[in-house]
Chains A and B, each alone.
Chain A
Amino acid sequence: MTKRTGAKLTAVLQSIGHRLIDQFWRLGSASRLFAYTLLSSGESLRRPFLVIREIYFTGVLSLIIILVSAFFVGMVLALQGYNTLQKYGSSEAIGVLVALSLVRELGPVVTALLFAGRAGTAITAEIGLMKATEQLAAMEMMAVSPIARVVAPRFWGGVISMPLLAGLFSMVGILGGYLVAVPLIGVDGGAFWSQMQDAVDFREDIVNGFIKSCVFGVACTMIALFEGYDAPPTAEGVSRATTRTVVNSSLAVLGLDFVMTSFMIS
C-alpha cells in the first residue's frame, strides 16, 4: 500500500518537475532567440524595406480593427461614465474619465490584446509554416541567416507599429467619447476639454502610456516570433502554436500591465 502511494507521489512530483524544466527550457530558448534577434537587427535594419513591409502587415492592416474598437470603446466609456457621474452632479468630468482610462490603461492594453490576436497570430502562423515547409532550413543552406532575414524585420515591424497603434487608439477613443458626451448627451464641450486638460499630465499619463505600449509591443511580437520559431513542423503544431501565441501574449500583457502600473503609480 505505502509502496504504491510512494510510487504515485514520485510520479506526480516527476511530472511537476518535468513541466517546470520544460518551461525553463522554453524561457531560455526564447531569451536566446531575443538576444539573436537584437544581435542581427543591424543587418536587417540596413535593408529598411524588410522592416517597412512588416510595418505594413502588422500596423497598416491592423488599422481597421484598432480604429473601430477604439471608437466603440470610447463611446461606451462615455455612456457608462455619464450614467454614474451624473448621479454626483459632475457630468463634466466625463472628459477626464474617458481620457485618463484610455491614455493610461485601455489604449495600451486593448491595443496589445487586439494586436496579439490580429498581428501576432499571423506572425506565428507564417513563421511556423515557413519552418514546416523547410523554408528556414533552405535559407540556412544558402548561408542566409533566417533570424536576420525573417525574424528581426518582423520584430522591429511589431515594435514600431504597436506604440503608434496605441496612440491612435487613445486619440480615436477620446474622439468617440467626445461624440457621445457632447453632441449626443449634451455635456458642455468646453468643460469636457478643459477638465481633461487639467487632469491629464504629459509626463505622468501620456509618456507612461507610451512606455507601456512599447513594452507590450516587444512582449507580443517576441512571443509570436518565438512560438512560430518553436512550433513543431506539423499542421497541428502550427495551430497549437498560434493558440499559445494569443494566450501567452494576453497573459503577458495583463501581467506586465499590473507590474508597470504599480511602479508608475507609486
Chain B
Amino acid sequence: MDRTKIDLWVGIFAAISVAALLGLAMKVGNLTTTNIGDTYTVTAAFQNIGGLKPRSPVKSAGVVVGRVDSIQFDGATYEALVTLKLDKRYQFPTDTFANIYTAGLLGEQYIGLEPGGEEEFLKENDRIMQTQDAVVLEKMISQFLYSKATESND
C-alpha cells in the first residue's frame, strides 16, 4: 500500500464521516430551526404549567414560532413566570392568548399562541396578560366525579 493510496482512502473516510456528523446535526438534530436567529422576549404568568420545560416549543397555528427560555416561580403572586423567546419575524398583537397544550395524549407540552385583534404588537419584555393553564388530568377527573356525584343526589 503506497502512501498516496492510503492518503486518498483516509481522506475519503474523513470526508464521509464529517458529512455524516453534519448530516446528523442538520437533518436529525434540526440545528437549523432550533437556533432561531433574532428573537424578542416576552413573559407570561400561569397558575399551573403542568409539564412545560425550558426549550419547549411555542407554536402558533401549529408552527413553531419560538421556544420557552426559562421558567421561574413568582413568590409574590404564587404563579409560574414563563419567559418566551419569539422569532423576530413574527409579530403578535398585545391581546394574544397563551395556552398550554399537550401534543397528542401522551406528547410533550407546548405553548400555543392565539393572536387577538389589537392593533399594537408585543414588544421586547412585554407580558402576555391572557393565559390559560395546563390541563391537569387529576383535576379534571375529580371535577367529573364531583359533578357526577351531585347529579345522582338530585
Instruction: Determine if B6 and A53 form an interchain contact, defined as CB atoms under 8 angstroms apart.
Output: yes
Query: Nearest Cβ distance between residue B64 and chain A, in whole angstroms?
Result: 8
Where chain B touches its partner, the secondary structure class is helix
Q: A60-B13, A90-B106, A164-B18 are in contact. Are A206 and B25 (CB under 8 A)?
A: yes
The docked-state distance in angstroms from the alpha carbon of A99 to that of B21 is 13
In the complex, chain B residues whose CB is within 8 Å of the CB of A170:
20, 24, 28
- Select B29's contact among A88, A168, A206, beta carbons within 8 Å: A206
Binary interface encoding of chain A residues 222-253 relative to chain B, with 1 for a CB under 8 A from any of its CBs, else 0: 00000000000000000000000000000000
Whether B21 lies near A210 (C-beta < 8 A) is yes
Do A201 and B20 touch across chains, with their CB atoms under 8 A apart?
no
Q: How many residues on chain A are close to B (CB under 8 Å)?
A: 32
CB-CB nearest 9 A-B residue pairs: A164-B17, A197-B30, A171-B20, A202-B29, A167-B21, A168-B20, A60-B13, A206-B29, A167-B20
**In contact, B10 and A59 (Cβ under 8 angstroms):** yes
Contact B30 A200 (CB under 8 A): yes
Complex: chain A residue closest to B110, CB-CB: A198
Tell whether A56 is near chain B: CB-to-CB under 8 Å.
Answer: yes
Is B3 interfacial (CB-CB < 8 Å)?
yes
**A170–B7 alpha-carbon span in the complex (Å):** 25
- Contact A201-B55, Cβ < 8 Å, known A55-B10, A193-B27: yes
A182 to B29 alpha-carbon distance, docked (Å):
19
Indicate with 1 or 0, residue by residue over A46-63, a CB within 8 angstroms of chain B CB atoms.
Answer: 000100110110011001
Interface check B9, CB cutoff 8 A: yes
Determine the distance from Cα of A103 to Cα of B10 in the docked complex, in whole angstroms. 24
- CB pair B106–A206 under 8 Å, yes or no, is no
Q: Are B34 and A201 in contact (CB under 8 A)?
A: yes
Please tell me if A220 contacts chain B, counting CB pairs below 8 Å: no
Taking the closest CB of chain B, its distance from the CB of A138, in whole angstroms, is 23
Cα distance A168–B55 in the bound complex, in angstroms: 28
Which positions in B face A, CB cutoff 8 Å? 1, 3, 6-7, 9-10, 12-14, 16-18, 20-21, 23-25, 27-31, 33-34, 55, 57, 104, 106
CB distance from A164 to the nearest CB of B (A): 3
A174 within 8 Å of B (CB atoms): yes
**In the complex the two chains form, what is the Cα distance from A191 to B7 in whole Å?**
41
Bound-state CA distance A34–B13 (Å) is 27
Contact, CB under 8 Å: B104 / A197: no
Task: Determine how close the nearest CB of chain A comes to the CB of B138; give it in whole angstroms.
Answer: 21
Q: How far is the CA of A59 from the CA of B16 in the complex (A)?
A: 12
